[in-house]
Structure formats: C-alpha cells, structure tokens
Amino acid sequence: MKISFKMPAIAALFLSAMAFHLPAMAQSVGPQQTSVHEGQTAPRGWTYEWGKTDFSKASVDFSEIFSGGPPKDGIPSVDRPKFEAINKADWLNDRSPVISLEINGEARAYPLAILTRHEIVNDRIGDVPIAVTFCPLCNAAIVFDRRHEGRELEFGTTGKLRNSDLVMYDRQTESWWQQFTGKAIVGTLLGAELKRLPSRLESFALFRERHPNGRVLERPFSRAGLYGTNPYEAMTACGGPFSMMGPCRKISRR
C-alpha cells in the first residue's frame, strides 16, 4: 500500500494553526521568555514522572502546559534510524510529504507518515547530530543541531503541549524544550536555544528529482497500516488547534 497524506488538508491544518497561534506564540515566546517564572509549583504528577527536571527554573507559566494524552516517551522517538534507497521506498507515492535536508552532500528524506507517529528522529549525518522534529497538531517541521555548548543531546517527547505545539525534552538533563522555537522553557538548560538547520517540507517526487541518490527513512515497525493513517485527523473538526478553548477541548494538567 502506498502512503499519501493529502497535501491540501495538511496546508489547511497549518494555516488554521498559524492563524490561531502565531500572535499568541510570538507574544509568549518573545523577549519576555528570558525571565524566570518564580514561585510556581509543578503538578504532583509532573514531579513524580520527571524526577530529574528542575521545575524551579521556568520561563513560562505552568498553566500553559497541558497533557496531550500520552505519558513521557509514550510517543516513541526514533533513536536508531535506518535508511533505504529511493527505489526501495515503494510504500510512498509521488505526493507523500517528506522532511528533507542535505548536509555535506548527503541527502535524506523523513516521511511525515513516520514523523506523525514518532514526532522526533535522533539522527546523525556525518559528524552532525541532528533532531528531525514534527508536530502533527501545528504542522511544524523543524530540524535542529542536537549540540548545545559542545554537549550532544538526545530528545524525546514529554507527552505535553504548549500552544498546541510539541514540548520535547532532552534525556541528559530532562529540560523541556518548545519545538516551535527550539528553546528550553523548563529545567537546567532554561534559555538555551538549539541551532536550526535548513530543511524542506516537500513531496517525495520533488526530493527524488533533486536527490536521485538520496536515502529515505525506513519504517521503524512493519505492522501494516501503522504508517498509513493520521491519528489526529478528527481534531481538525474542532475548528481550531487542539487545546484551545471550545467544545472539542479535551486536555488535562496531569
């Protein structure tokens, strides 16, 4: 079965998310984010699950962070990615969207069909450790250099959302990071910012045309249908990004 996300639907989700969130996001992750929100008490569930996270250091109000449903690493990152030649990726079709990038002449494609289920790929191209990230709820596809001040970090999912955007964490300090900005918003590395790397969100056909010798991320699991459906499709019926106020709002602080 060949996998194809509907590009118009993705574009519509992106525009809807940005229309609701860009003003709020710009305000909430702007210059004031360098200040520390002192005197906050983290929910008991957080401190139980996140024993290493320093919740005394935060640049956002904890009331802005909600559970998306899954627990810590409930959405598993891909930490040992394997790749295949373009002609082997016959489960994709021309319209299948991929995140693509090229570093030192080596080009790789990461299908959204996989990223929708895993959200983060910890990879390495040459000597550059990278994190390929995708938030299915706001359609933010961003690639980061995983190094901070000479230290290599590995990222996972917290299961939390802020402004309908993925909140990541690094497994070295368990600081929490806003995927949309690449900034640490809670924990030891508060205020740190990851370097963004140039990437594209494009069709598989365009990637193949530009990089006929490129490599494609293999499906981590071979179970039929796992990477052929979008588990977030029903959320588009809410009329706005997930976790906003409204009749479809189903969120929890814990």
Over residues 121-133, the pLDDT tens digits come to: 999 999 999 999 9
In the structure encoding, which two tokens stand for residue 218, read together? Answer: 């293999």
Instruction: Match 């809410």 to its residue by tokens.
Output: 238
Which residue ranges in the chain fall short of pLDDT 70?
Answer: 1-35, 222-225, 235-254
Question: Which pLDDT value is given to residue 237?
Answer: 62
Query: Within a 10 A sphere around the Cβ of 11, how many other Cβ atoms?
Result: 11
| Residue linked to tokens 């373009």 | 86
Sheet holding 65-67, edge to edge: 65-67, 155-162, 165-170, 176-178, 183-186
pLDDT at residue 154 in the model: 98
What's 79's DSSP letter? S
Other beta carbons within 10 Å of 190: 20
pLDDT digit string, tens, across residues 28-51: 443 334 457 777 999 999 999 999
Separation between Cα atoms, residue 137 and residue 236, nearest integer Å: 9
Residue 67, pLDDT score? 92
pLDDT at 231: 81
Q: In this predicted structure, what is the pLDDT of residue 25? A: 44
Contact (Cβ atoms closer than 8 angstroms) between residue 217 and residue 78: yes
Q: Cα dist. 131→54, 100, 164 in Å?
A: 23, 12, 20
What is the tally of helices (H) and strands (E) in the chain? 4, 16
